[in-house]
Amino acid sequence: MITALGVDPGLRATGYSVLQGDRQGCRLLEFGVLRTTGPEMAARLGEIFSQIEAVIREYPPQVMVLEDVFAHVIFPRTALHLAHLRGVITLAAVRAGVTVETLTPAAVKRALAGSGRAGKVQVQKSIARLLGLGVIPPQHSADATALALTALSRRGVALRPTGVHALARA
């Protein structure tokens, strides 16, 4: 049984998703969005670090997955701010002894929707189907779920629903 934590860092909202699975199938343990309140970057880094630490404590994962930061071009200022966030999220995993892995968007799309050029909606529908969810998860959580699901798939976990899903938190 492997547990994977997917994280999608964002300046206002960081999505996360915890999945667990084995050769029989996989299930969603929790997904949600971590929000920060203050206007100060430094304080926000502290908030996100503590919240990721709390998720790791509650559902100890074997692997944490982030999107490859070099995969897409965005505004330099945003990229640098995101890299600060990513630094402290990575640190939370390292300090808990959790392996950190990065995946390109194309690798995620290939694994979940059969093509590296699949659209966002197509990937979201795949996630809902593969996990047997009745609804499509909200954007941030969906991206985090896609990362975790791909990491599990690469470790031999079957991409089909098993057991009962926990409720998602707002």
Residue 121 near its own copies by CB under 8 A: no
Nearer to its own copies, 75 or 167 (CB): 75
Helix (H), strand (E) counts: the chain? 5, 5
Span near its own copies by CB under 8 A; candidates 11-19, 36-44, 121-129, 131-139 = 36-44
Which 8-state DSSP code applies to residue 98? -
Which x/- pattern over 57-86 shows residues binding its own copies (rule: CB under 8 A)?
------------xx-----xx-xxx-xxxx
Any residues with CB less than 8 A from the CB of 111 and at least 6 apart, and which? 149, 150, 153, 154
Any residues with CB less than 8 A from the CB of 87 and at least 6 apart, and which? 45
Write out the residues near its own copies by the rule CB under 8 A.
41-43, 45-46, 49, 69-70, 76-77, 79-81, 83-88, 90-91, 93-95, 100
